[in-house]
Amino acid sequence: MNETALTVHQTARPHGFPTVEHFAFVESALPAPVAGSALVENLYWSVDPYHREMMDDVPGGFALGTPLEGRSIGRVIASRTPRLAEGDVVMHRQGWRTHAVVGPENVRQLPRFDGVPLTAFLSTLGGTGLTAYVGLTRIARLQEGEDLFVSAAAGGVGTATGRFARLLHAGRLVGSAGSMAKAAHLVREVGFDVAFDYHDGPVADLLGKAAPGGIDVFVDNVGGEQLSAAVGALREFGRIVRIGTISQYNIPDAPSPRFDYADIVEKSIRMEGFLVSNYRDVQEELYEFAVPRLQSGRLALDETLVDGFEHIVDAFLGMLRGENTGKIIVRDRTQVPPAN
């Protein structure tokens, strides 16, 4: 067992894109569990776009100079509560650190499904997949044969949206991503019919070519120009599922997207945003939908795994730059399978 623990702190507020200078790794003695708690050694960490929003001076944001928080999966290595035993694998929110002292009320014991790796609880079966599933089933209320456009389609939520939409018998699937390589991957591996690099010209033109007949649903992870273009492309009774606005997170005072507000009325468009944290009751349904399909191979995981806790800041910044395909997850070196 390591005798020391590492935590990541935010040291300053970024104006624009954050850098490694905004973070510090802080070493301390291994924390000891007090009565009623347990010590967890973290094995997998999620780094997420919302962490960028929390780096700003906003209510509920990260405090400077204290350990950051985020979703993590770890193993109990010492326990002073009968409700957690050594060896238990748990999900909790004290990420961005090698070790965490947790109370049983603050962790979730993870079910184990044959053939499904633990990382799935941070990707397809976790908040990422739940966001995609709620977006399609509760917000868009997707009908068979409907045509979809998904922005940031090669990311965690985007790939899960594409794969779930295919399984839910969507019609034409159009995706946008930040490179031609990602666009090709979406068509070749994820099941999109067509995908484009949003840098390749005005998005309205690119979307017009990719979906000449229009779209029924826009699943929006990005906002900005892509949202404007989608309003124009939506058919009557179209729905916009507002999931995130990542094109604006690193631009202070980013202007709101411009689109024709009359379109919303004349095409009877419904735009609805949501926070996945308000849909925890859908978690079991997601397991019922996704687990048998993962086990049978009809559904695949999309993950970028970064090895070594010391790379967690790089992984986070890389995700903001678009270096990931699928959900980005940082993995402790002990979890790296041995090379053949």
Shortest gap between Cβ of 45 and ligand NAP (angstroms)? 13
Per-residue DSSP letters for 144-211? TT--EEETTTTBHHHHHHHHHHHHTT-S-EEEEESSHHHHHHIIIII--SEEEETTSS-HHHHHHHH-
For 265, phi then psi, to 5°, come to: -75, -55
Residue 152 touches ligand NAP, criterion: CB under 6 A: yes
Q: What are phi and psi of 85, to 5 degrees?
A: -110, 150
Report the nearest approach of ligand NAP to the CB of residue 201 (Å): 14
Residue pair 169/150 in contact by the 8 Å Cβ criterion: no
Q: Point out which residues pair with 278 in neighbouring strands.
A: none
Of the candidates 330, 338, 337, the one whose C-alpha atom is nearest the C-alpha of residue 43 is: 330
The number of beta carbons lying within 10 Å of the beta carbon of residue 144 is 8
Residues 13, 22, 25, 50: which binds ligand NAP (CB under 6 A)? Answer: 50
19 to 48: interface string for ligand NAP, x by CB under 6 A? -----------------------------x
- Cβ distance to ligand NAP smaller for residue 95 or 244: 244
- Window contacting ligand NAP (CB under 6 A); options: 147-155, 232-240, 257-265, 307-315: 147-155
Helices (H), 219-258: 224-233
For ligand NAP, what does the binding mask look like between residues 295 and 324, x meaning CB under 6 A? ------------------------xx-x-x
What mask, x for binding ligand NAP by CB under 6 A, covers residues 211 to 230? Answer: ----------xx--------
* Beta strands at 194-197 and 173-177: parallel, antiparallel or unpaired: parallel
Cβ proximity to ligand NAP: between 70 and 238 the closer is 70
Q: Are 331 and 305 in contact (CB under 8 A)?
A: yes
Residues 58-117 close enough to bind ligand NAP by CB under 6 A: none
Question: Residues 229 to 248: which contact ligand NAP by CB under 6 A?
Answer: 243-247
Q: Which residues bind ligand NAP (CB under 6 A)?
A: 48-50, 127-128, 131, 152, 154-158, 177-179, 182, 221-222, 243-247, 274-276, 319-320, 322, 324, 327
